[in-house]
Structure 1
Amino acid sequence: MGTHNHHHDYNFSEQYTFAGTAKVVSLVAVVLGVATIAYGLSTGDTTRTFANLLLMGYYFACVCAAGAFFIALQMVTQSGWSVGMLRIPQAMASVLPIAAIVLFVIAAAGLNTHTLYHHWADPELLDTNSPKYDPIIAGKSAFLNVPAFLIRQILFMGSYSIFAFIIAKLSYKEDLEGGLNSYKRSFKLSAIFLVIFGFTTPIWSFDTIMSLEAHWFSTMFGWYNFAAMWVSGIAAIVVILVLLKKAGYMAWVNENHLHDLGKLMFGFSIFWTYVWFAQFMLIWYSNIPEETVYFYKRWEPEYKPWFWLSIVINFLAPLLILVDRDAKRKQNIMLFVAILLLCGHWLDYYIMVMPGTVEADRHFGLIEIGTAIGFAGLFTFLVMNKISKHALVPKHHPFLDESLNHQI
């Protein structure tokens, strides 16, 4: 009877209205971003502009992919606690096809203009008669060549997008039809998606980010990228959830749900640090020149402060703030840490992308900030627009009662 009463307390047909200030601010941010990119290209800062486009395009795709991963994980583990907030990662997953196209266009244009991936995409590097001939790149050319690179991008992001789109669509269908058909199909598709995603995300990050410096490689790089993607995705879910609650929506999500999200954010920030440290420490103490060159670049004066600040924001901040049980149950603290982590992982990606691409004009300024604002606006506009299209709770989900009665 207790659960039955819960159903009468909440309006399960409640829909978010995306209008007014939120819509205007997101669109203004997009316009600012476009203006910044146009400014960067028109002033001849092409490489730096493309590096920022790649950074934000990859970040955008990663956060949306993390939304898809979140739903699939909840499905396969048959978790009930998160059902009341599933509409948020579902909206992120639904936007993944657009994010994938944006990233693909940036990568392809960067290859075409020789502003990105020039460490391996130049044909002269493979020509034994050329003064530019590079035996290391020639040895990797079976994997690192332009057609294979583009095909892998299409296969990886295309498969993630299809699964993300179908799983989200099935949940909306469940709202209309009820029954268990949509749930059972989602369960099977989620299991397949997790296998594909798990095996291919490291390769996706090797291609998109690690190949910017094609001489260097790290077998930990894929998991380091996955950890950053996952933490950023959870932080994005927290920001949207808290702001929706502050606007008077989603009353059925309480401090217990927030606490679970806080634990995920805390735990995986520690995991990110573990992988970051393992990659850094093993290379540092082995002191092999061809390995240390990666970190040597990041210790140059332009990057060294950012390098250490990244660790402070992404490790120390969640560790010191979220270790307390009560902190994970307070909306304002969770919102603050989530926004801090989204900025921190932007910095993390900045350190991954910039030293290997921007070799002449190295400084931090308008192009970095403007591009980031533009993509933040695009993400906000697309995700919030998607959230506003459907009821804020999957009302026929078989585990909805468990979510409504969730307590820690």
Structure 2
Amino acid sequence: MVIGAVLLAIGVVLAIFGGGHDSAEEGAGHAFHWYQRLYANLWINNVYFTGIAIIGVFFFALQYAAQAGWSTGFLRVPLSFGYWLPYAGVLMIVTFFIANHDLFHWTHSYLFDKNDAQYDKIIDGKGSFFYWPMDKGTFPVFYIVRMFLFFGFWIFFFNKLKNLSYAEDLNGGNDYWYNIRKWSAFFIIFFAVSSSVSAWDWVMSIDTHWFSTMFGWYVFSSWFVSGLAAITLITIFLKEKGYLPMVNENHIHDLGKFIFGFSIFWAYIWFSQFLLIYYANIPEESVYFIERLSSDVYGPFIFVNLGLNFVLPFLVLMTRDSKRHGIFLKLICSLILFGHWMDFFLMVQPGTLGHNGGIGFIEIGMLLVYVSGAAYVVFGGLAKANLVPKNHPMLEESYHHHI
């Protein structure tokens, strides 16, 4: 965290005094300021780490809904990710209120004024999605309410599942398992809707003219692979420190299979979205990829993104042995976590900063600060209760898991 803070401070100083604060935004005529890069990075990390936190709770709920027993021994690891959600909610809401005009073009009131030279018919047509029931261009009530609702219900479901799981440790019996399964089903239904709508709100609306009907799936797949990589990394870390004695190479193998499979799923969604837009060649759709692929700033990162998030895990995790050895998975999981952070970097920065973006001291520093903060909160939460749910009815199955 200290290293991250120092790098972030260096990046801010260089941005202020390095001459980049007065450059004109290409084709827009608006001056670019150093703090816009800071805001963009706050938003990238808010969205990315919120996703990892909620995916932890989703993975926990999924195991109960599927009546899975193999994962029981390490279920407290993904559950603990939910401890970051209150912090994520506060950071997201505060960042939006401070930086909305610098992040979201649709927040400017002149876009909805038919008498203004900069009136935008397309954004005006989407205005109710943000501003209902108030006038377009005033206060985005509908948008803000959705943000509060999503975080409110995510935190509610996390606390409900966590409290039931901890109570099971004390009291035992099968009733808790059935109760957690019921609440997991409710959560998964809510998550299915909220994860897609939050992706439209927090990421897709940055490029307000552009839209993709696959975008909810795309963000979910990126979040899910990142969450799986974080779960695997922490499970291996705890195992090597002498905790989680019941977790063996078979459990690690299954986590590796999840990462392998969903890295392919992410690539499938990425390619499907790209192919449909490329093939149709409709200007309002293709502009999203053109401004990224044709950019000197972002073009190379597109290929690094595909290499880290698909080619590398596909080739390395193809064999059985690679999914059973911690050293391979630690390396791959670390690279995947950085790779999917870069995925969100490519979703956010081109639409907010244009050619003024890139990966430098601010980006790396901010990432390290968020990684450290999230890890501190998650491990702190993990230490509050037993690492293993000792009265879980399927614990014995997890002990004897073999593939």
TM-score (norm 1): 0.90
Q: 3-state SS of the aligned residue for 1:130? A: coil
The equivalent residue for 1:333 is 328
Aligned mate of 1:362, from 335, 351, 357: 357
Q: 1:131 aligns with which of 117, 141, 156?
A: 117
CA-CA distance at 1:359 after TM superposition: 2.4
Q: Which residue of 2 aligns with 1:261?
A: 255
| Bigger shift: residues 163-172 or 32-41 | 32-41
My pick for the range that moved more, 129-138 or 91-100, is 91-100
Partner of 2:135: none
C-alpha change, 1:34 and 1:367, in structure 2 (3 Å) is closer
CA distance in 2, matches of 1:50, 1:301: 22
Q: Give structure 1 stretches of 5+ with no counterpart.
A: 1-26
AA partner of residue 60 (structure 2): I
Distance 1:288 1:356 in 2: 19
Deviation at 1:187?
1.0
Q: Among 106, 110, 115, which residue is 2:102 paired with?
A: 115
C-alpha contact (below 8 Å) 1:40/1:49 kept by paired residues: no
2: distance between equivalents of 1:35 and 1:331? 35
User: Alpha-carbon deviations, 1:57-100, whole Å to 9, x = none?
Assistant: 11110000000100110010010000000110111023222222
Query: Matches of residues 157-196 of structure 1 in structure 2 within 5 Å?
Result: 157-196=151-190
In the TM superposition, residue 181 of structure 1 has moved relative to its aligned partner by 3.1
User: How far apart, in 2, do the equivalents of 1:93 and 1:102 lie?
Assistant: 15
Unaligned runs of 5+ in 2: 18-32, 132-139
Out of 276, 297, 303, the position equivalent to 1:282 is 276
Q: What is the alpha-carbon distance in structure 1 between the residues aligned to residue 227 and residue 367 of structure 2? A: 16
Q: Partners of 1:245 and 1:84 in 2: how far apart?
A: 11
Find the aligned partners of 1:144 and 1:306 in 2 and give their Cα distance. Answer: 31
* Amino acid in the other structure paired with 1:373: L
2:307 match? 312
1:73 aligns with 2:67: no
CA contact (8 A) 1:41 1:49 kept: no
* 1:225 maps to which of 212, 219, 226: 219
Shift of 1:158: 1.4
In 2: Cα distance, 1:33 partner to 1:371 partner:
8
Report the counterpart of residue 37 of structure 2 in structure 1.
48
- Counterpart AA for 1:371: M
Q: 1:193 to 1:89 in 2, by over 3 A?
A: same
Equivalent-residue separation in structure 1 for 2:118 and 2:225 (angstroms): 40
8 Å CA contact retained: 1:57, 1:102: yes
- CA RMSD of superposed structures (Å): 1.7
Does the C-alpha gap of structure 1 residues 37 and 364 become closer, same or farther in structure 2, counting only changes over 3 Å?
A: closer
Partner Cα separation in structure 1 for residue 3 and residue 388 of structure 2: 29
Amino acid at match of 1:97: P
- Measured in 1, the distance between the counterparts of 2:89 and 2:12 equals 21
Q: 120-129 or 93-102: which moved more? A: 93-102
CA spacing shift, 1:195–1:33, aligned 2, 3 Å? farther
User: Residues 30 and 366 from structure 1, CA distance in 2 versus in 1: closer, same or farther, beyond 3 angstroms?
Assistant: closer
Amino acid at match of 1:100: G
Runs of 4+ in 1 over 4 A off after TM superposition: 29-44
Task: Say if 2:126 is the partner of 1:140.
Answer: yes
SS at 1:215 equivalent: coil
- Whether 1:92 and 2:81 are equivalent positions in the alignment is yes
Give the distance between the partners of 1:108 and 1:262, measured in 2 at CA.
Answer: 40
Correspondence for 1:384: 379
How far apart are residue 390 of structure 1 and its match?
Answer: 1.4
In 2: Cα distance, 1:33 partner to 1:195 partner: 41
Alignment match, 2:346? 351
Question: Residue 4 of structure 2 contacts residue 364 of structure 2 at CA under 8 Å; is this kept in 1?
Answer: no
Deviation for aligned residue 1:122:
0.5
CA contact (8 A) 2:200 2:216 kept: yes
Please point out which of 244, 262, 267 is paired with 1:250.
Answer: 244
Query: For 1:282-313, what per-residue CA distance to the aligned partner results, in whole angstroms no more than 9, with x for missing partners?
Result: 11121111111100110111111001110011
Give the AA of the match of 1:45.
Answer: W
Within 1, Cα distance between the matches of 2:153 and 2:348? 25
Question: C-alpha offsets along residues 41-68 of structure 1, whole Å, 9 cap, x if unaligned?
Answer: 9765111111100000111100000001
Shift of 1:383: 0.6
Q: Give the aligned partner of residue 393 of structure 2.
A: 398
- Aligned residue pair count: 379
Sequence identity (%): 41
Once residues 284 and 96 of structure 2 are traced to their aligned partners in structure 1, the CA distance between those partners, rounded to angstroms, is 26
Indicate the residue corresponding to 1:291 in structure 2: 285
1:185-230 Cα deviation digits (max 9, x unpaired)? 2111100000010122111100000000100000001000000010
Determine the C-alpha separation between the residues in 1 that align with 2:13 and 2:237: 32
8 Å contact kept, 1:100–1:161: no
Residues 106-149 of structure 1: CA deviation (Å, up to 9, x unaligned): 222222xx1111x2110110000111100000000110332111
1:108–1:150 Cα contact (<8 Å) kept:
no
Following the alignment from structure 1 to structure 2, what is the Cα–Cα distance between the partners of residues 100 and 176?
Answer: 31
